[in-house]
Amino acid sequence: MKTTNNKKEFHILVLNVGSTSTKVALYSNTEPVIRETFVYRQEGTAPSVPDLKTQLPQRGKDLNSFIEDHAIDMEKLDIIVSRGGLCRPGPSGVYDISPAMCDDMLVGRYGTHVSALGPAIALSMARKHNLRAIIVDPPSTDEFDAVARFSGIPHIERKSAFHALNQKTAARKAAGKLSRNYEDVNLIVAHLGGGITIGAHNKGRVVDSTHGLSEGPFTPERAGTLPTSEMIDLISSGEFENENLRTLLVSRGGLVGYFGTNRAEEVETRIEKGDEGARLIYQAMAYQIAKDIGAMSTVLKGVVDGIVLTGGLAYSNLLVNWIADRTGFLAPLFIFTGEDEMEAMATGALRLLQGKENSIDYDQIR
């Protein structure tokens, strides 16, 4: 399906459902007009409602409150875009939300995450007001080359799960800086946040990437790639039950494991006060990031037009300088601090509305 429209100004409703909040915004093209965040619980506490479907009424009620409190005229709205969840793996791009997509996410067919609620809420709202509802570059985006899927054990296949929305947005910005189209350049993009993923972008396709939960450098919260023999010994020791071990790997590893905090600025404060142990560990994270950037350069056969650093950790000059020191010989470095998923979604919706991109039929993906 393709939407072509010469209208200069589009009104886009953007919905981002996260673990601790629901962010809603009204955009005029890519400019935010109204933004609001509904917060449900404090960071670091257990989910108040573990079952996804039981959260739907409150999340939907908050979206309705946003619309009513700000007197948004739904007749003037052009489209609704939601953050995507863990759905059927497929190419990057804009997807029309379908009942099958919502069902896959709500039952956790491809993994469970609270972001599954967004598309269901968006579809319900779109049906009520005769609008179109979409997602953009979901985290289950899969453009891997066949050779990238092998792990070394027949029972385990490497899967694509990375920060597709932010990586793709940063990559397009870098291509713009190069005065070229994203589809014409080779880039290595490192999303640096609580999770870190590093992807090889080959002329518009992410043909390989570290996994957001189980591969790559250690992060503020995650253990990343580990020595397998020592990992087996740790499991066999009985010190950790399976559930606790998973928590250790995903949310209690990395900086949390070493320092008890996931806040990089706290680690940098220690370094400023002369803590050489903290400096070495923080430098080790930069070292591992740089090493994976180097690995992705071989995926692109050394033809790299740029290295892109994005996400919250890109604010850290210390970390960025260490990474640049080890990777600067490969290609020019582009830094886009922070991330704005809301703007990225609005931008994706605008490309669709302006007829610059085709939408993908989720139900046709196999």
What does residue 96 show for φ and ψ, rounded to 5 degrees?
-70, 130
Let me know whether 241 and 325 are in one domain. Answer: yes
Predicted confidence (pLDDT) at residue 45 exceeds the cutoff of 60: no
Whether residue 25 lies inside any domain: the answer is yes
Let me know whether 116 and 186 are in one domain. Answer: no
Let me know whether 297 and 206 are in one domain. Answer: yes
Let me know whether 177 and 80 are in one domain. Answer: no
Instruction: Give the per-residue pLDDT at 114.
Output: 83
Mean pLDDT in residue range 50-65 = 85
**Of 36-45, 115-124, 257-266, 285-294, which range is least confident?**
36-45
Mean pLDDT in residue range 300-313 = 97
Let me know whether 127 and 192 are in one domain. Answer: no
Let me know whether 280 and 248 are in one domain. Answer: yes
pLDDT-derived band at 227 (thresholds 50, 70, 90) equals very high
Mean pLDDT in residue range 65-70 = 95
CA–CA gap between residue 124 and residue 126 (Å, rounded): 5
Number of domains in the chain: 2
Expressed as residue numbers, the domain containing 225 is: 164-337
pLDDT-derived band at 288 (thresholds 50, 70, 90) equals very high
Whether residue 155 lies inside any domain: the answer is no
Strands (E), 120-243: 133-136, 186-192, 196-202, 205-209
pLDDT-derived band at 42 (thresholds 50, 70, 90) equals very low
Whether 143 and 115 have beta carbons less than 8 Å apart is answered as no
pLDDT-derived band at 273 (thresholds 50, 70, 90) equals very high
The pair of three-digit structure tokens given for residue 230, joined into one six-digit string: 């020592």
Instruction: Give the per-residue pLDDT at 8.
Output: 86
Whether residue 148 lies inside any domain: the answer is no
Instruction: Give the per-residue pLDDT at 347.
Output: 94
Let me know whether 241 and 173 are in one domain. Answer: yes
CATH number of the domain encompassing residue 246: 3.30.420.40
Higher-confidence residue of 223 and 338: namely 223
**What digits encode the pLDDT tens for the residues 93-149?**
999 999 999 999 999 898 877 889 999 999 999 999 999 999 999 988 999 999 999
Let me know whether 184 and 294 are in one domain. Answer: yes
CA–CA gap between residue 85 and residue 48 (Å, rounded): 20
Contacts of 120 (CB under 8 A, 6+ apart): 56, 102, 105, 106
Whether residue 230 lies inside any domain: the answer is yes
Let me know whether 185 and 108 are in one domain. Answer: no
Whether residue 51 lies inside any domain: the answer is yes
Q: What is the value of pTM for the model shown?
A: 0.85
Let me know whether 263 and 138 are in one domain. Answer: no
Instruction: Give the per-residue pLDDT at 49.
Output: 42
DSSP letters spanning 81-128 = EE---S-S-B-SSEEE--HHHHHHHHTTBTB--GGGHHHHHHHHHHHH
Instruction: Give the per-residue pLDDT at 56.
Output: 87
Contacts of 273 (CB under 8 A, 6+ apart): none
**What digits encode the pLDDT tens for the residues 309-361?**
999 999 999 999 999 999 999 999 999 998 788 999 999 999 999 999 999 99
194 three-class SS? coil
**What digits encode the pLDDT tens for the residues 171-204?**
999 999 999 999 999 999 999 998 999 999 999 9
Whether residue 281 lies inside any domain: the answer is yes
Let me know whether 115 and 180 are in one domain. Answer: no
**What digits encode the pLDDT tens for the residues 136-176?**
999 889 999 999 999 999 999 999 989 999 999 999 999 99
Let me know whether 217 and 346 are in one domain. Answer: no
Whether residue 149 lies inside any domain: the answer is no
**What digits encode the pLDDT tens for the residues 240-269?**
876 688 888 988 999 999 999 999 999 999
Whether residue 22 lies inside any domain: the answer is yes
